Amino acid sequence: MLKRIPSSELCIGMYVEEFCGSWMDHPFWRARFLIDGQDDLGKILASGVSEVWIDASKGLDVAPGTSPVIDRPAAEATVQSQLEAVQAKPAPRLARTADTASELERASRIFQESRHNVASMFEEARLGSLRSAEAAGAVVDNIADSVSRNPMAMIGLARLKSADDYTFMHSMAVSAMMVALARNLEWDEARVRDAAMAGLLHDVGKAQIPGAILNKPGTLDDTEWTTMRSHAERGRAILEETRGVTPAALDAVLHHHEKIDGTGYPHRLAGDRIPELARMAAVCDVYDAITSNRPYKSGWQPTAAIRKMTEWTGHFDSVIFKAFVKAVGIYPVGSLVRLKSQRLAVVIDHDPAHLLQPTVKVFFSLRSMVHIEPMVVKLDKSRESDMILGFEDPQAYGFTHFNELWVPPGAKVP
């Protein structure tokens, strides 16, 4: 039986099924293991992970009466109610000037054309400084323009980045999400651009982290973990003298790994002591990281990521996280969903005012287990409409060309 418990209740002999946080927050980049010694237990307690899921059928259970303990059905019910509450509140009406399919092609070109500028920016940072943010500004302007036309395109496409291009593409993906999030918070355009710049530069300190640590497939030792966590302070130091980077963006670079409950790094800030731009970058950074494939770990499906992040108490600013969900959707573009009609569909667009009824492309029958002629369906609340029952993993069905269902042929995957 799976139970979510405070990390303080862990003991040797328990089986960890999952950490309530991304693998960026702790040295164990692979969960699911038996705690068989004080060393592993100490690392978990020192990592800042406040809650974990244990499997009581594979290891020790918590003592009777231990509180608080939450089982999986209760956790799922809580997540569902929280997401429905997000849906119930009105979202700002952001005008779109392009449909998702056409903007996917433009977003693809922006990624290809920006790769050189972002790679050069990281190379300068590796050598110790970034003279000017001018090249970064040009990338930010293109990203902001694309998100203005249709935010779903660039955010969805960025998730498909290759492992080799992860560092560069992650920076552009977080920048795009920062733009969408800032606009959902109804910021003016000057602040939106600042958010975009913060997103593009947030991980620049990783240019000075050895690749053997960044891409290590196993557990980081104490020295490696300390080096990894130093990227926030390294990034701030690199950018201190850079022309065109605002103090707010510098704060986001330094503090995007802080958590609302004060267990983050580098300064263990809590609540409103964490600068607002850093609280925004924390959400966008984590979402893109956990939905992207890495050399050492496959990314989570976007809908699963949203649900897991909703469950992580103490990690994110609740107002900012709700605005983020409105920006990317409860069922983000590219999600595989199971319908009441016993069909599978991929989400191809969503309306921030109706997050539980996205536009989908139906393509597979679960009754006969065969592909059917693809058909676009706009879900709604009418009695005759189909509805989403849950989400699925394309790999579980062997869908080797799944992304082709929602990425048009003219949009090259980054």
- What amino acid occupies position 66? T
Nearest to 258 by CA among 278, 277, 276: 278
Task: Go through the domains of the chain in sequence order and give each one's CATH number.
Answer: 2-68 (3.90.105), 100-328 (1.10.3210.10), 336-405 (no CATH)
Q: Which two tokens stand for residue 53?
A: 């899921």
pLDDT at 93: 64
Q: Check residue 60 and report its DSSP letter.
A: P
Tokens of 57: 């059928």
Q: What is the DSSP string of 316-378?
A: S-HHHHHHHHHHH-SS-TT-EEEETTSEEEEEEEEETTEEEEEEEEEEEETTTTEEEEEEEEE
Rg, C-alpha atoms of the chain = 21
| 290 and 307 Cβ atoms separated by less than 8 Å | no
**What integer pLDDT is reported at residue 29 of this predicted model?**
66
Q: What single DSSP character describes residue 61?
A: P
For 229-247, the DSSP string reads HTHHHHHHHHHTT-BT--H
Number of other CB atoms surrounding residue 344 within 10 Å: 23
Question: Smallest Cα–Cα separation from 224: which of 202, 209, 208, 204?
Answer: 209
From 177, 162, 108, 175, select the one nearest 329 (Cα to Cα). 177
What pLDDT does 201 receive? 96
Among 89, 68, 196, smallest CA distance to 137 is for: 196
Q: How many other CB atoms are found less than 10 A from the CB of residue 45?
A: 12
Q: What is the pLDDT of residue 159?
A: 87
Helix (H, G, I), strand (E, B) or coil at 262: coil
**pTM of the complete model beyond 0.95:** no
Cα 367–chain centre separation: 33
What does the angle CA 37 – CA 41 – CA 47 come to, to the nearest 5 degrees?
150
Give me 6's structure tokens.
């405070």
* 281 vs 275: CA distance, rounded Å: 10
Say how far apart CA 286 and CA 170 lie, in whole Å.
Answer: 10
The string over 263-302, giving b where at least 16 C-beta atoms fall within 10 Å of a residue's C-beta and e elsewhere, is: bbbeeebeeeebbbbbbbbbbbbbbbbbbbebeebebbbb
263's tokens: 């267990």
- Dihedral class, residue 65 (left if φ above 0, else alpha if ψ from -120 to 50, else beta): left
For residue 253, which phi and psi values (nearest 5 degrees)? -60, -45
Q: Along the 414 residues of the chain, how does pLDDT read in single tens digits?
A: 889 998 889 999 999 998 888 877 777 766 789 999 998 898 888 877 888 999 999 999 988 877 678 888 888 888 888 988 887 776 676 667 788 888 999 999 999 899 889 999 999 999 988 888 888 999 999 999 999 999 889 999 988 887 777 888 899 999 999 999 999 999 999 999 999 999 999 999 999 999 999 888 878 888 999 999 999 999 999 999 898 899 999 999 999 999 999 999 999 999 999 999 999 999 999 999 999 887 777 889 999 999 999 999 899 999 999 999 999 999 999 999 999 999 999 999 988 788 889 999 999 999 999 999 999 999 987 767 799 999 999 999 999 889 999 998 877 766
Backbone angles phi, psi at 220, to 5 degrees: -80, 140
| 8 A C-beta contact, residue 103 and residue 146 | yes
Report the length, in residues, of the chain. Answer: 414
Which of 18, 45, 50 is CA-nearest to residue 31?
18
Whether omega for the bond prior to residue 6 falls within 30 degrees of 0, making it cis, is no
Cα distance between residue 95 and residue 151, in whole Å: 10
Model pLDDT, residue 26: 76
